[in-house]
A = this chain, B = another copy of it.
Amino acid sequence: MGKLDFSPIADTTRRAEIVALLRRAILTGQLEPGQKLNELRIAEQMRVSRAPLREAMRELVQEGILTSIPYAGTFVIDVTAKDIDDAYSLNKVLDEFAIELTWKLRDQRFFAELDRRHEAVKQATRDLDTTRQIETALQLHGLIYEWSDNSVLLETWQRLTSRLQMYFALHQHARNEPVPAEDVHETYVRLLKGKDMRAAQRHAREHIDLDFEELLAYARSLEQRASKGARADRAGHARGRPEGG
């Protein structure tokens, strides 16, 4: 008998596909923070009924990237500087923990996967594909969580990641510059391969701090803009149209 490991077949429910579509639209910034999601219009565009769409939206609400107000609508979450700050400071703590757990589980496969993901980031950087660069960088970062053998920790980080990715995407959208050319993950990878766990943990903190200040500054500027036209945002004013699929 052949010893082939079959991977589970794809979820064939419309709901799952809608979730994926919406999540991508949000995390890449096609749907802007604060924007209202009109169920009828989205359902029409996707050629589905509102039932699976609404179920998908509930999932994303619980995932933390949408927020829902009964009888008013469902909106992409607003990005506040405080949120970013909170998320990052928590991320630091989780990183330290993940490194600690992963440390003694590192093996040849871990290092290989680490290199593979690092390479993916560098490739995306060369391609000047900012969206993919964010994606791959977070995947590189996520390896220590996947390897930590703590499913609750992994799940927690993945939730956090959704927002972080959204924040990053916003940031990248804002500044038109393409991308940082230098490889900011070189040290991170090297330390994860090394023998000094403390050093790796320390670097994880500092590395995160890298363009944190820039991101925060951008978030604050967003807030100022928001506080001016707050009323219009809340009502779902037709400022930006959702880019259909």
Find out whether the CB atom of B86 lies under 8 angstroms from the CB atom of A152: yes
> When chains A and B are docked, how far (Å) is the Cα of A55 from the Cα of B63?
14
Find out whether the CB atom of A83 lies under 8 angstroms from the CB atom of B159: no
Is A229 located at the chain interface by the 8 A CB criterion?
Answer: no
> When chains A and B are docked, how far (Å) is the Cα of A147 from the Cα of B244?
6
Main secondary structure of the interface of A (DSSP, over half): helix
**Interface readout for A4-18 with B: 1 if CB under 8 Å, 0 if not?**
000000011101100
Task: Kindly report which residue of chain B lies nearest to residue A143, judged by CB atoms.
Answer: B245
Find out whether the CB atom of B90 lies under 8 angstroms from the CB atom of A11: no
Question: Which of B13, B93, B152, B244 touches A97 (beta carbons < 8 Å)?
Answer: B93
Find out whether the CB atom of B155 lies under 8 angstroms from the CB atom of A64: yes
Total contacting residues, chain A, CB less than 8 A: 43
Question: Which of B51, B58, B109, B152 touches A90 (beta carbons < 8 Å)?
Answer: B152
Find out whether the CB atom of A70 lies under 8 angstroms from the CB atom of B149: no
Task: Kindly report which residue of chain B lies nearest to residue A109, judged by CB atoms.
Answer: B245
Is A241 located at the chain interface by the 8 A CB criterion?
Answer: yes
Q: Which residues of A contact B (CB under 8 A)?
A: 11-13, 15-16, 51, 54-55, 58-59, 61-64, 70-71, 82-83, 86-87, 89-90, 93-94, 97, 109, 113, 146-147, 149-153, 155-156, 159-160, 163, 241, 243-245
A-B contact pairs, 28 of them (CB 8 A): A13-B70, A51-B51, A54-B55, A55-B58, A58-B59, A58-B62, A59-B61, A61-B62, A62-B62, A64-B155, A82-B151, A83-B151, A86-B151, A86-B152, A87-B152, A89-B150, A90-B97, A90-B150, A93-B93, A93-B97, A113-B245, A147-B244, A147-B245, A152-B160, A152-B163, A156-B156, A156-B159, A159-B159
